[in-house]
Amino acid sequence: MSEYQKIIKDGMWVNNVAFVQLLGLCPLLAVTNTVVNAIGLGLATTLTLVATNIIVSMIRNVVRPEIRIPVFVLIIASVVTAIELAMNAWFHELYKILGIFIPLIVTNCSIIARAESFASRNSVGHSFVDGLFMGLGFTVVLILLGAMREGLGFGTLLSQAHLMFGETARGLTIVLFDDYKGFLLAILPPGAFIGLGLLIALKNIIDKRMAARRPTPVPITEVSESLA
Amino acid sequence: MHIVRNMTISAFLLGLFSITGTGVVAFTFEKTKQKIAENERAAMVASLHQLITPKEHDNDLYADVIQVSNEKLLGTDEPVNVYRARMKDKPVAAILNSVAPDGYSGNIYLLVAIRFDGTLAGVRVVKHKETPGLGDGIEIERSNWILGFNSKSLTNPPTGKWRVKRDGGVFDQMTGATITPRAVVKAVKNTLNYYQANKDMLFKTPANKDIQ
| Digit-coded pLDDT (tens) for B137-185 | 898 888 899 999 999 999 988 988 999 998 989 998 887 788 999 999 9
Burial pattern B117-141, b for ≥16 Cβ within 10 A else e, equals eebbbbbbbeebebbbbbbbbbbbe
Q: Does the structure show a pLDDT above 90 at B186?
A: yes
Q: Are B45 and B75 in a shared domain?
A: no
User: What is the residue range of B23's domain?
Assistant: 1-51
B32 touches A at CB < 8 Å: yes
Residue B32 and residue A67: Cβ atoms within 8 Å?
no
Given this model, what pLDDT does residue A193 score?
A: 93
Q: What is the pLDDT of residues A71-96, one digit of tens each?
A: 999 999 999 999 899 988 988 877 87
Q: Which residues contact B122 (CB under 8 A, 6 or more apart)?
A: B50, B51, B113, B146, B147, B149, B150
Residues B1 and B65 in one domain: no
CA distance A192 to chain B (A): 14
Rounded distance between C-alpha atoms, residue B98 and residue A67, angstroms: 50
- CA atoms within a 13 Å half-sphere pointing along the CA-CB vector of B146: 26
Of the partner residues A33, A64, A93, the one whose CB lies closest to the CB of residue B10: A64
Chain A residues whose CB is inside 8 A of the B43 CB are: 92-93, 96
Helix A68-90 to helix B2-51 angle, to the nearest 10 degrees? 20
Q: How many helices (H) and strands (E) does chain B have?
A: 3, 6
Rounded average pLDDT over A136-163: 87
Domain ranges in chain A are 3-227
Contact A184 B6 (CB under 8 A): no
Judge if B158 and B203 occupy the same domain.
yes
Neighbours of B3 (CB within 10 A): 7
Coil vs helix vs strand at B82: strand
Reduced to 3 states (helix: H, G, I; strand: E, B; else coil), residue A19 is coil
* pTM assigned to the model: 0.75
Question: What span, in angstroms and rounded, lies between the C-alpha atoms of B164 and B183?
Answer: 10
Residue A30: pLDDT band (50, 70, 90) is: confident
| B110 and B36 co-located in one domain | no
Q: Is the dihedral of CA A180, A185, A186, A187 positive or negative?
A: positive
Question: Are the CB atoms for A8 and A14 separated by under 8 Å?
Answer: no
Q: Measured between beta carbons, which residues in chain B are less than 8 angstroms from residue A75?
A: 17, 21
Answer yes or no: do B39 and B129 share one domain. no
Which stretches of chain B are assigned E, i.e. beta strand?
65-68, 80-87, 90-96, 99-103, 106-115, 120-127
List CB contacts (< 8 A) between B39 and chain A.
88-89, 92
Answer yes or no: do B140 and B162 share one domain: yes
Q: Which residues of B touch A160 (CB under 8 A)?
A: 141
CA distance A75 to chain B (A): 6
Distance CA B114, CA B93 (A): 5
Helix or strand or coil: residue B89? coil
Q: Find the range with the poorest average confidence among A51-55, B18-22, B125-129.
A: B125-129
Interface of B with A in 133-152 (CB under 8 A): 133-134, 141
Q: How far is B137 from chain A (nearest CA, A)?
A: 12
Give the orientation angle of helix A189-213 with respect to helix A124-154, to 10 degrees.
Answer: 120
> Confidence band (pLDDT; 50, 70, 90) for A13?
confident
Q: Among A22-26, B55-59, B91-95, B109-113, which stretch is predicted with the lowest mean pLDDT? A: A22-26
pLDDT tens digit string along B1-30? 688 888 898 899 999 999 999 999 999 999
Q: Are residues B76 and B167 in the same domain?
A: yes
**Chain B residues with beta carbon closer than 8 angstroms to that of A88:** 32, 36, 39
For residue B150, the surrounding DSSP H or E stretch is none
Residue B42 shares a structural domain with residue B128: no
Number of domains in chain B: 2
DSSP B114: E
- Mean pLDDT computed over every residue of chain B: 90
| B158: amino acid identity, one letter | P
B46 and B58 part of one domain: no
Per-residue pLDDT band for A216 (boundaries 50, 70, 90) equals low
Residues B207 and B152 in one domain: yes
d(CA B177, CA B136): 9
Pair B39, B69 in one domain: no
Per-residue pLDDT band for A12 (boundaries 50, 70, 90) equals confident
Q: Same domain for B102 and B27?
A: no
Q: Report whether the peptide linkage leading into residue B157 is cis, meaning its omega lies within 30 degrees of zero.
A: yes
Each residue of B65-89: pLDDT tens digit? 999 999 999 999 999 999 999 999 8
Partner A contacted by B17 (CB < 8 A): yes
Binary contact (A64, B25; C-beta < 8 A): no
- Contacts (Cβ under 8 Å, ≥6 apart) of A177: A155
Higher per-residue confidence, B169 vs A184: B169
Mind listing the pLDDT tens digit for each residue in B49-66?
Answer: 999 999 999 999 888 999
| Chain B residues close to A67, C-beta within 8 Å | 10, 13-14
B99 close to B75: Cβ distance less than 8 angstroms:
yes
Q: Of A86, A93, A188, which is closest to B28 when you measure between CB atoms? A: A86
Which chain B residues contact residue A89 at CB under 8 A?
32, 35-36, 39
* Each residue's pLDDT tens digit, A196-207: 999 999 999 999
